[in-house]
Copies of this chain bind each other. A is one copy, B any other.
Amino acid sequence: MFAEVLTIGDELLTGHTVDSNSAFIASELTERGYWVRRITTVGDDVEEIKAVVREILARKPEVLVISGGLGPTHDDVTMLAVAEALGRKLILYEECLEKIKAFYERLYREGYIDDPSLNEGRKKMAYLPEGVEPLENTEGAAPGAFIEHEGVKIFVLPGMPREMKAMLEKEVLPRLGKRKFVQRKFLAEITDESKLAPILKEALERFNVRIHSSPKGFGKYIGLIIFAEDEEELEKTVEYLESKGIKLEEA
């Protein structure tokens, strides 16, 4: 049961913007028990996006969350690329067009924009791949999309963090299952990380858990994250580590 995340945007590839969206999405998926296996970032380019979407589908994740490139400008090409990757047409969704129209009319009434009319760029956002379920954007103009394709649940979200987060919470998470595993974060008191290695190795063999350790400088503390199928297995692992002299403090 694994998931992948794909973020799209030239600004991520030039390093002008740090991709905090993928961490947010990954964190929410992890919380719900998905093992995020890979995060990929490509630019606003139809061929690149198409290629990477096809590669991801070939790996058969249960869930693919895509974020970025849904806006009104020439470089927002994600929906077109996803449509092409899935072998579907890009078609006008009338209900989306109505919402986009209402959105710009509201901005106009509130004095944010000079012209509420549906120009080409604004209208473009109502075009989604054929057969998707449009996802509501409560914070912006561009709708998202959900489609199940060859067993993969694909969600396409905007790239603006506020819009992405709202859509993830209101539209994506309710369509996913319940939490499937537990994780807990600790600070382990130990002089240095390499002393921990043989003890962790033994714990991994004894229990059905995954453990991630990360150094917190060269001080006395090492960060540990333990993942388990259930609370009991996690608790047994914690007890074992403590029996080996590792002091754990919940972080």
Contacts and interface: CB of A to CB of B under 8 A. Distances in A.
Interface of A: 9-20, 22-30, 35-44, 48, 52, 55, 71-75, 107, 112-115, 119-122, 160, 183, 185, 191-198, 200-201, 204, 210-215, 218-219, 225
A113 B197 contact: no
B20 A18 contact: yes
A18 to B, nearest CB: 4
Contacts of A114: 191
B13 A28 contact: no
B13 A26 contact: yes
Contacts of A211: 75
Nearest to A13: B36
28 contacts: A9-B214, A10-B210, A11-B214, A12-B23, A12-B39, A13-B37, A15-B30, A15-B36, A16-B185, A17-B23, A19-B23, A37-B43, A37-B48, A38-B52, A44-B212, A72-B193, A72-B197, A73-B197, A74-B197, A74-B201, A75-B213, A112-B218, A113-B191, A113-B218, A115-B191, A115-B192, A115-B195, A121-B194
